[in-house]
Amino acid sequence: MNFKGKKALVTGSGGGIGKSIALLLADMGADIAINDVSIKNAQKTAKEIISKGRKALVSNADVVKNNDVKEMFKTIAAEFGRLDILVNNAGITRDSLLMEMEENQWDQVMDVNLKGVFLCCKYAAKMMSEQQSGKIINISSASAQIGNIGQANYVASKGGVISLTKTLAKELARYNINVNAVAPGYIRTPMTESVPEKVKNYIISQIPLNRAGKPEEVANAVAFLASDMSVYITGQILSINGGMYV
């Protein structure tokens, strides 16, 4: 897989899975627009990308805000001239049992995890349709496929991502734009490190491969879907979960 000359945007790429995706695409030759609400983390990722000899843009646009997203895409158009790959990775959790969940916990998760994907896809689709080419990869979750106690908001948002992916695949196929999603299972990231050890052990006991996944393993799948090797794949959900959901 060679991304030389390609331009990519990875949201939530200041750390975790998003950072691994951005670094891998850069390793394969792409220039990367780094987006993260933490400008400090985004700049760290950008520094690593530049050290690889690739170009990097930094944006701390809030994917929930239309004007922020609109300006981010204007900058990408001005600096890169095009956008070949969009990876919608930005996401948050606000876990709580349904009967104890506050309205703002629901709204925050739905806004970042689903509305953010909608806004980024909207502006990316406009750029990519003019080019008559593009790859959009949305990050969903195995939780959306199997459900998860205490995550009604997160599961609903990631389930929405799956449905949105399938619809956009049909809408955008006429422009030679592929839209797919990956659904990671339990991946070791800063977000999951806060999970109590007892809970971690239980989750791993439910995984046939008997271990947590690595961010790099998710990045490998994203790179495949972003490459020319997947030109006849669209509207699909690629599960990366060690067999937790089959």
- Active-site residues, by number, are 154
* Matching residue, tokens 């750390």: 15
Alpha carbon 219 to chain centroid, angstroms: 10
The structure tokens listed for 150 are 């205490």
DSSP 121: H
190: nearest Cα among 223, 215, 207:
215
Distance CA 9, CA 73 (A): 9
134: left (phi over 0), alpha (psi -120 to 50) or beta: left
Distance CA 183, CA 244 (A): 11
| CB-based contacts of 65, cutoff 8 Å, min separation 6 | none
Distance CA 167, CA 99 (A): 32
| CB-based contacts of 78, cutoff 8 Å, min separation 6 | none
Q: Which helix (H) or strand (E) holds 57?
A: strand 56-59
